[in-house]
Amino acid sequence: MNARAEAKKRATLADVARLAGLSRTAASMILTGKPDTRLSAEAHARVMAAADQLGYRPNMAARSLRTERTQSFAFISDVVATTRFAMGLIRGALEAAEKAQHVMLVLETGGEPARESEAIAAALDRQVDGIIFAAMRAREVFVPDMRLGTPVVMLNATNPRFPVSVLPDEAAGGKAAVELLWAAGIRSGIGLLGQSDVAEAGLFRSETVSRRVAGIRSQMQKRRLSFVAEESCWNWEPDEGYKLAKRMLKRGHGIRALLCMNDRLAFGAYQAAAELGISVPDEVAIVSFDNDEIAAYLRPGLTTIALPHEEMGRRSVNLLLEGGAKGEHLVPMPVIERGSVGKVKR
């Protein structure tokens, strides 16, 4: 009746030992590759052969019970569905975990404290060897105050109680975006879409966004450039981008470039430009951030500063594996050049 009952039972260590004519102790030591055992080469060979013949695989529950390690991590994230970014983080984490022969428990909390506590408890109950707290919008993540004696890394998030975190290097990314326009010979007529210091003074957006903005503004200053227009909006979605860009492109600021805070805003900006008959990149250059999937679909392709999600996911796992150093681990944001910033014609 039980599905498990039909299949022949898995071979245990005892079976291997019996077949090899040795003790469980010996078999265990050999199979786990203990270093300073004095077991003979012949014993090694016999155990290996036996294990192979029986298709032996250790029972992780039993091993974990004894060793308190499970070869598994938990990936606890606020939201996995809503944003396509989650996938990159998860994928990178999965990949690194697989390399290290670990598995990943994935848990979603929706950012709700109660579910967060539940998720942590579930992970701890299963004795995970480490926990990754991931946030989709980099923010200071709430973590219920449980005494969790397990390594933790914050992924795309920060929390004072857990000093190890992995973040995109937004400051450098902001700088790179400005440099892209500079390199294209654009010296004036630059509009900023999605953020405006005057409109947002005192508003809290998120740690990484503010670094992105800071990176942009500091590099603008360094190059002695300034924005001819800034439009702020709260939701960085295409419809906002469309509205804002339309206003900006019409108002006759002589806009020659649009720096968009993310690709979805840029997506809206494309639609506005198309409607106004303004050509990208000949009349207006567009740069943005994230390297969202849509960035590649636009015509011309959108030049953007990528959020290195996969690499971040990988890093977070590796930090767990290596007992990573405290502090922020910044991952560079690659510049993805497509067609939306043309070289200037002099």
Partner DNA sequence: CTCCTTTGCTAAATTGATTTAGCATAGATT
Partner DNA sequence: AATCTATGCTAAATCAATTTAGCAAAGGAG
Footprint of DNA (CB under 7 A): 9-10, 12-14, 21-26, 28-29, 31-32, 34, 37-40, 42-43, 57-59, 62-63, 65-67
* Least gap, CB of 288 to its own copies (angstroms): 14
The residue (of 57 and 222) whose beta carbon lies closer to its own copies is 57
345 binds, among DNA, its own copies, none (CB under 5 to 8 A by kind): none
From the CB of residue 139, how many other CB atoms can be counted at a distance below 10 Å?
19
List the beta strands (DSSP E) in 114-199: 130-140, 152-158, 164-168, 190-194
Smallest distance from DNA to CB 47, Å: 9
- For the chain, the first-to-last Cα distance in angstroms comes to 80
**30-54 CB burial, b ≥16 within 10 A, e <16:** bbeeeeeeebeeebbebbbebbeeb
Whole-number minimum distance, CB 280 to its own copies, in Å? 13
Residue pair 244/265 in contact (Cβ under 8 Å)? The answer is yes
Burial of 166 (0-12, 13-18, 19+ CB in 10 A): buried
Q: Nearer Cβ to its own copies, position 215 or 281?
A: 281
The answer to whether the CB of 340 falls within 8 A of the CB of 301 is: yes
* CA quadruple 191, 193, 199, 202: dihedral, nearest 10: -120
Partner that binds at residue 344, options DNA, its own copies, none, CB closer than 5 to 8 Å by kind: none
- Cα separation of 249 and 185, whole Å? 20
Min dist CB 24 to DNA, Å, is: 5
Look at residue 24 and give the partner it binds from DNA, its own copies, none, a contact being a CB closer than 5 to 8 Å depending on partner kind.
Answer: DNA
Q: Which does 247 bind (CB under 5 to 8 A by kind): DNA, its own copies, none?
A: none
Q: Which residues bind its own copies (CB under 8 A)?
A: 3-8, 57-62, 64-65, 68, 70, 72, 75, 80-81, 84, 86-88, 90-91, 94-95, 98, 101, 103-108, 115, 118, 121-127, 147-151, 237-239, 242, 264, 267, 271, 274, 293-294, 297, 299, 310
